[in-house]
Structure 1
Amino acid sequence: MYQAKIMALLFVAGDQGIKEKDLVELLEIDSAALRQNLEELQVKLLTDGDSGIQLVNYNSLYKLVTKNEFSELLTKYFKSGLGTKLSQAALEVLSIIAYRQPITRIEIDEIRGVQSSGSLNTLLMRKMIKEHGKKNVPGHPNLYVVTDEFFDYFGIKSLEDLPKIENFEENSNTGEIDGES
């Protein structure tokens, strides 16, 4: 059971890793038992042909990392752009689409006050949004909506789970955002 807990902790810690002394405290286990579990987990992951990760120790800092044999695949992943975080501009465009969908690029540009085609292309490539028909106006521009990847990325099940826009409007009396003190 400790090995599963160790993996869960190291997974959420990501690149930061966790020091041995912190694992001892978090797991409420003595150092010897922790080291034994860490060694067993390290061997288990290294010998498991169906596992793409391994446990490493850098001066009593433990991390889960990918196995070296997957370096070409990971390079391909990062070159694809899929491994990058969304920029502030892309997040702005994505939030506009989520709250106003279906919406055109021109409508997004008008709300933001700047051109948004680069962010739209990024979001389309990341499959966070998709084209959803054409607007029945001259030029018939594409309409955009969010996808299942959007919901997965933000950990929500539906658009109803989004914060209400009213919660972000400034309170005209205090100049503070509603809900903050």
Structure 2
Amino acid sequence: MYQAKIMALLFVAGDQGIKEKDLADLLEIDRAALRQNVEQLKIKLINDEESGIMLSQYNSTYKLITKSEYSELLTKYFKTGLGTKLSQAALEVLSIVAYRQPITRIEVDEIRGVQSSGSINTLLARKLIKENGKKDVIGHPNLYVVTDEFFDYFGIKNIEELPKIEKFEDYKEE
């Protein structure tokens, strides 16, 4: 029963994955029970020839990833352009960076109210944003700005061509 729940949660979490503590809290089980279920699920997925995914752990974060034997197929998929749509979260982060650049990940998180590192990594990988120096505060976090690929992706020449934020102030969700 827990294995299906673990898979569902990790699928929804996507590239960000879920930390062990958070996963245990969501499932309302102790960490030892979680680790046992995770190990069983790892073995099940690795041995299932009909499954293209496996469960992986990076430090204390669990993620679903594709099996390496499908890398050629996935490369082909991404080369076709079929995988070029951005998620809602990535679009939110991208718009915040575009309008508020240069901006740190923490500042993006504060605006969105949720963690944004997964979306930032996606946008960096797609070269829609880039690191552009460090903010002169404790920790010296990276500053992010949009790239020439951003302008190409949206078919605009410069930031001034973005819609003015004032146009959205009267918008209310119904």
8 Å contact kept, 1:78–1:84 = no
Q: After TM superposition, give the deviation of residue 84 of structure 1 in Å.
A: 3.0
Report the count of equivalent residues.
Answer: 103
* Residue in structure 2 matched with residue 76 of structure 1 by the alignment: 75
CA pair 77-122 structure 1, distance change in 2 beyond 3 A: farther
* Residue in structure 2 matched with residue 94 of structure 1 by the alignment: 94
Superposition misfits of 4+ residues, deviation over 2 angstroms: 72-75, 77-84
TM-score by length of 1: 0.52
Matched residue of 1:163: which SS?
coil
Counterpart check, 1:145 vs 2:156? no
Q: Structure 2: any 5+ residue segments left out of the alignment?
A: 1-70
Matched residue of 1:166: which SS?
helix
1:128-160 Cα shifts (integer Å, max 9, x gaps): 000000000000000000001100110000000
TM-score by length of 2: 0.54
Distance 1:81 1:145 in 2: 27
Q: After TM superposition, give the deviation of residue 170 of structure 1 in Å.
A: 1.7
8 Å contact kept, 1:105–1:116 = yes
8 Å contact kept, 1:131–1:143 = yes
Higher Cα Rg: structure 1 or 2?
Answer: 1
Structure 2 residue identity aligned to 1:98: A
- Structure with bigger RCO (C-alpha 8 Å, 6+ apart): 2
Q: Structure 1: any 5+ residue segments left out of the alignment?
A: 1-71, 177-181
8 Å contact kept, 1:103–1:143 = yes
Over aligned residue pairs, what C-alpha RMSD do you find?
A: 2.7
8 Å contact kept, 1:133–1:143 = yes
* Residue in structure 2 matched with residue 115 of structure 1 by the alignment: 115
Matched residue of 1:133: which SS?
strand
